[in-house]
Amino acid sequence: MEIKDAVTTLAAMAQETRLAVFRTLVVAGPDGLSAGRIADALGVAPATLSFHLKELDRAGLVIPRQDGRYVIYAANFARMGALLAFLTENCCRGDSAGCAPANADTDAAVDCCPAPDSCC
């Protein structure tokens, strides 16, 4: 993942309503939820939710599919995984293998991090 993609993805999550939407979809799993159910769950006006879903889609964080008159949104777990990988790849002087929480069991983290469980 390039830095511009990371910025886009982070920006999509850097908004309270959108982060709540995304977390709701993460919990819902691959089956996803319709726009209406998300709106109900979070108490957001339909037009506002639609705006935010478009942002999340633009960032690649959700995958919409038409199902009858509903549009079902599901979290894009692959995209989220790619972001987490990007955020940890330059950790600890380039040795991402030693970084918690990605690899909390190794003790390589102590080579560069204040504590094994406090590294990116």
Partner DNA sequence: TCCATATTTCGACAATAATCGAAATATTAA
Partner DNA sequence: TTAATATTTCGATTATTGTCGAAATATGGA
Please report how close the Cβ of residue 38 comes to DNA at its closest, in angstroms.
Answer: 8
73 contact partners, CB below 8 Å, separation of at least 6: 25, 32, 33, 34, 35, 38, 53, 56, 57, 62, 63, 64
113 binds, among a second copy, DNA, none (CB under 5 to 8 A by kind): a second copy
Site for a second copy in 19-78 (CB under 8 A): 19-20, 23, 26-27, 29-30, 75, 77-78
DSSP class of residue 69 equals T
Please tell me whether residue 5 binds DNA under the rule CB under 7 A: no
* Nearer of residues 21 and 35 to a second copy, judged by Cβ: 21
Please report how close the Cβ of residue 55 comes to DNA at its closest, in angstroms.
Answer: 6
One of 46, 90, 97, 107 touching a second copy (CB under 8 A)? 90
DSSP class of residue 14 equals S
45 binds, among DNA, a second copy, none (CB under 5 to 8 A by kind): DNA
Pick left, alpha or beta for residue 39 (phi over 0 → left; psi -120 to 50 → alpha; otherwise beta).
Answer: alpha
One of 6, 20, 42, 71 touching DNA (CB under 7 A)? 71
Tell me how far CA of residue 88 lies from CA of 4, 23, 63, 81, 93, in angstroms.
Answer: 16, 21, 24, 11, 11
